[in-house]
Amino acid sequence: MKQLIYGGRLLTAGRLDGGHADILIDGDTIAAVLPPGEKVGDDVKRVDARDRLLIPGLVNSHTHAPAALNRGIADGWSLELLLNAYPWTGGNRGTEVKYLSARIGAIEMLRKGCTACYDMAAEIPAPSAEGTYAVARAYADVGIRAVVAPMMADTTFYRAIPGLIEAMPAPLREKAEAMRATPHDVSLAACKDIVENWPFDRDRQRPALAPTIPHHCSDPFICGCRDLARAHGIGVQMHVSESKTQAVVGPRKYGTTLVGHLHKLGMLGPNFTAAHAVWLDDDDMARMADAGASVAHNPGSNLKLGSGLAAARKMRDRGVNLGIGTDGCMSSDNQNVFEAMRIAAFVSRVQGPDPKAWFTAAEAFEAATRGGARALGMESLIGQIAPGFKADIVFLDLTSINYVPLNEPLYHVVFAEDGTGIDRVMVGGKVLVEGGKVLGVDMPKLAAEANATMARLNEVNASTRQLVELLAPVVLDYCVGLASERYRVQRWCEQCS
């Protein structure tokens, strides 16, 4: 079936003026971008887009499906307190719970104009085909694209931070020492099975690997992921130098930065995405850029967890591909890429007084569309409204308050839009959001199911919660101590020193 979207304005890479254009879609793909009013024949369905601004579906380059059930669960957590709490907040998640959580996150993203994401879906203690496929199935059922990477570790958080276990009082130390991570050969064998038997259309949902944090994964594990990813042509995403505590661990453990260590292991490449990358020095940025790697910039999460401000503009100038991410709902607490894009532009402006060094609206928009698509390995499929790309299109209502009056369309999208101006969202030419509502979703039913699930999880995880709450003050003291050490990074921001 052919469709002509007519009468609208278009905002996409190479056309940032928001001028009028019509879009011809054939099946799930954009066939042509045409001058307004151009004739296309009679056998074409006509879609009225007058008073609409058409943008590519936004790309969320870093999130976590399991965290959607943990929205609004915490305040005052640093990254280390969040990781400490994981046995509680991520405990006892069966396949149905993984599906439910991913579905909630997918519905939110779709409702807010995001049509593709890179999901590090926690598969701890061990990755399973059942769990990973449940997450991918949730994305398939909601209708958005996703790269689903089982998130794994072969070292527990308590062992990953040098000296942390030794700093614990005896009874707690025994409990932390008793926790075990799955050996890397077991996880790698499971990942091979997951990837080789992937049952989903790879233009829609594709697999990747996520050894979560460099020092939470042994070198053989990281190298195993590297080799498996290369053998199957898939991506790898890791959290890298997110907090200052992590950055300090790098030289202590490896004698180099975390990026330097990954570089030595041969992990950096065009299929590699570093999530956060807050504490990179100039050499790290050069290594990432020269390898053709990407960074998923999560400024909202970095603010909430007090992780710091990533040097997004500097990385971009050095040639690192940038995507924008929300991170999971435990650290953002929403899945709103419009908001993440706006924060990305805004935080750059407190990193220095010279507007020439700020992250512009155009750069933020580029990162949230084409840059994110590249981070997902989908740069030839999505991220642009142009011939040959999938018809993933967001219709913004120019009569909504966010555009009244309409001045520079790009600035409205980056600085004013919060998702409330969305009228319609199309993925692969199919309308999934209409009048600002996700079609076919019974929200009261979903809320009841989610609330009942959390009530049950809170009950079964109560004793684990008690334990992590006992560990929290020790973790806090020790990691704040580590983070207070001087760490040599080239100064881009006095607040980060």
By CB under 5 A, the residues from 221 to 260 that bind Zn ion are none
**Closer to Zn ion at the Cβ: 83 or 191?**
83
- State the Cα–Cα distance between residues 194 and 197, nearest whole angstrom: 6
- CA-nearest of 242, 313, 306, 254 to 279 is 242
Furthest-apart CA pair in the chain: how many Å?
Answer: 79
Q: How many CB atoms lie within 10 A of CB 266?
A: 13
Listed as own residue / partner, the contacts of 153-156 with beta carbons closer than 8 Å and 24 or more positions apart are 153/124, 153/181, 153/211, 153/212, 153/213, 153/216, 153/217, 154/181, 154/182, 154/183, 154/184, 154/187, 154/216, 154/217, 154/218, 154/221, 155/181, 155/215, 155/216, 155/217, 155/218, 156/180, 156/181, 156/216
**Closer to Zn ion at the Cβ: 22 or 327?**
327
**Closer to Zn ion at the Cβ: 80 or 327?**
327
**Closer to Zn ion at the Cβ: 327 or 417?**
327
Min separation Cβ 65 and Zn ion, Å: 11
Min separation Cβ 327 and Zn ion, Å: 5
Q: At what angle do helices 95-111 and 129-142 cross, to 10 degrees?
A: 30
Min separation Cβ 335 and Zn ion, Å: 12
Six token digits for residue 291: 């390898």
Q: For residue 265, which amino acid is it?
A: L
- State the Cα–Cα distance between residues 79 and 62, nearest whole angstrom: 15
**Closer to Zn ion at the Cβ: 213 or 288?**
213
Find the residue with minimal CB distance to Zn ion: 327
**Closer to Zn ion at the Cβ: 87 or 421?**
87
Let me know: does 61 contact 323? Beta carbons within 8 Å. Answer: yes
**Closer to Zn ion at the Cβ: 281 or 327?**
327
Min separation Cβ 284 and Zn ion, Å: 19
- State the Cα–Cα distance between residues 482 and 476, nearest whole angstrom: 10
Work out the burial of residue 98: count CB atoms within 10 Å of its CB; fewer than 13 is exposed, 13-18 middle, 19 or more buried.
buried
**Closer to Zn ion at the Cβ: 327 or 423?**
327
Sign of the torsion angle spanned by Cα atoms 333, 335, 341, 342: negative
Min separation Cβ 298 and Zn ion, Å: 7
First to last CA, the chain: 57
**What is the contact mask toward Zn ion in residues 290 to 329, using x (rule: CB under 5 A)?**
-------------------------------------x--
Min separation Cβ 241 and Zn ion, Å: 13
- CA-nearest of 341, 484, 476 to 410 is 341
Angle, alpha carbons 33-38-44 (nearest 5°): 80
**Closer to Zn ion at the Cβ: 136 or 274?**
274
Q: How many secondary structure helices (H) and strands (E) does the chain include? A: 19, 18
Min separation Cβ 361 and Zn ion, Å: 25
Six token digits for residue 491: 């100064």
Min separation Cβ 79 and Zn ion, Å: 9
**Closer to Zn ion at the Cβ: 58 or 149?**
149
Min separation Cβ 105 and Zn ion, Å: 13
- Give me the residues paired with residue 47 across strands: 5
Min separation Cβ 243 and Zn ion, Å: 11
Q: For residue 91, which amino acid is it?
A: G
**What is the contact mask toward Zn ion in residues 47 to 86, using x (rule: CB under 5 A)?**
----------------------------------------
Min separation Cβ 296 and Zn ion, Å: 8
**Closer to Zn ion at the Cβ: 302 or 351?**
302
Count of positions on this chain that bind Zn ion (CB under 5 A): 1
- State the Cα–Cα distance between residues 60 and 371, nearest whole angstrom: 10
Work out the burial of residue 260: count CB atoms within 10 Å of its CB; fewer than 13 is exposed, 13-18 middle, 19 or more buried.
middle
By CB under 5 A, the residues from 324 to 353 that bind Zn ion are 327
Sign of the torsion angle spanned by Cα atoms 57, 206, 209, 377: negative
**Closer to Zn ion at the Cβ: 121 or 468?**
121
Min separation Cβ 442 and Zn ion, Å: 30
**Closer to Zn ion at the Cβ: 56 or 325?**
325
> For the CA atoms of the chain, what is the radius of gyration?
22
**What is the contact mask toward Zn ion in residues 176 to 205, using x (rule: CB under 5 A)?**
------------------------------
Min separation Cβ 492 and Zn ion, Å: 22
Could you list the residues that contact Zn ion (CB under 5 A)?
327
